[in-house]
Amino acid sequence: MTRPVVAVVTLAHGRHDHLRAQLAALALGIRLPEIWVGAAMDDELLESVVRHQASSTRPATTVEVVHLPRRHGHLPLAAARNAAAARAIALGADVLVFLDVDCLPSERLVECYEQACRSMTSTPAASTPPTVLSGAVHYLPPLPPGRDAYEPGDLRRSVPHPARPVAPEPGMVPEQDLRLFWSLSFALSSAHWEELGGFDETYVGYGGEDTDFAMRLGRNGGRLYWLGGATAYHQYHDVEDPPRRHLVDIVRNSNLFHDRWGEFPMGGWLDAFAAEGLITLSGRPLRWTLTPAAGTPARTP
């Protein structure tokens, strides 16, 4: 079988230091991707950052950036993934590896994703349900004072996210609860991506679009596997919990998700917002709405 063409897809708004580190780590991998496509969301500087880094580290044979403006003031996460994937496929990608801008790939991440996708597509496409693969994500602590990059020892001491299974290496573990899918690090064949239709661009801004993607995977008879060896390392950055700056996006997208699937995603965050008096649940059908305490218009679409 001819070796498939692998594309790594990353979307970003800022976080340029994290992106430089990701590109440098990709260049150290056992299996280099043929293509890297970045989606710059309202970030005119990102392309120059990518070009400068790629000229020294050469993370892939072909490096491209697609630009997307904000949509109604919000970052278009779903549309950005779709646009970058479409460009990668146009460039000849057979396998798509989606990697969050904050994630450092291990030296075997691309290799493991490629080999697993190749085994999944060794049978006729008509007999293979759409399959999504996801490797473990380890969370890194803040960098010590005076250091601007993580070292191999930091990666060895890191631990995986406690709420996600870790598959043995080599090996795959099937996941029955598709809501555990996350978009930090995952891969699938280009054919399965096109069969699923990518992410739903009705979701604008932060939250919900990845769980919707997983639900559509299940509706299409698809499968989710945790893949051993395809480890990514999430670079530290400050987080807001619950993410109040994304309150409007989360409420809007949660209501949209409920309209489609009959349940609300991101339940922990919604409960936390409700406990703070920022949102309330009412109506038929049920809708989360912003309260005056949220400091924004009291109704959302």
Q: What is the pLDDT of residue 294?
A: 86
Cβ neighbors of 28 (< 8 A, separation 6 or more) are 107
Classify residue 160 by burial, with Cβ atoms within 10 Å: 0-12, 13-18, 19+: middle
- The answer to whether 104 touches 25, Cβ cutoff 8 Å, is yes
Tell me whether strands 6-12 and 35-41 are parallel, antiparallel or unpaired.
Answer: parallel
* Tens of each residue's pLDDT in the chain, 301 residues: 588 999 999 999 999 999 999 999 999 999 999 999 999 999 999 999 999 999 999 999 999 999 999 998 899 999 999 999 999 999 999 999 999 999 999 999 999 999 999 987 665 555 689 999 999 999 999 988 889 889 999 999 998 988 888 899 889 999 999 999 989 999 999 999 999 999 999 999 989 999 999 999 999 999 999 999 999 999 998 888 899 999 999 999 999 999 999 999 999 999 999 999 999 999 988 999 999 988 754 334 3
Distances (CA, A) of 299 to 170, 255, 280, 293, 294: 49, 12, 10, 12, 11
Strand partners, 280: 289
What's the pTM value of the predicted model, to 2 decimals?
0.94
Cβ neighbors of 89 (< 8 A, separation 6 or more) are 7, 96, 190, 193, 194
Distances (CA, A) of 84 to 18, 58, 152, 204, 283: 19, 19, 30, 16, 38
Distance (Å, rounded) from C-alpha 70 to C-alpha 62? 26
Cβ neighbors of 151 (< 8 A, separation 6 or more) are none
Q: What is the pLDDT of residue 1?
A: 59
- The answer to whether 49 touches 77, Cβ cutoff 8 Å, is no
- Return the closest-CA partner of residue 236 out of 105, 143, 164, 104: 143
Cβ neighbors of 213 (< 8 A, separation 6 or more) are 181, 183, 196, 198, 199, 200
The residue type found at 285 is: P
Domains observed in the chain: 6-234 (3.90.550.10), 244-294 (no CATH)
Classify residue 258 by burial, with Cβ atoms within 10 Å: 0-12, 13-18, 19+: middle
Cis ω before 105 (30° cut-off from 0): no
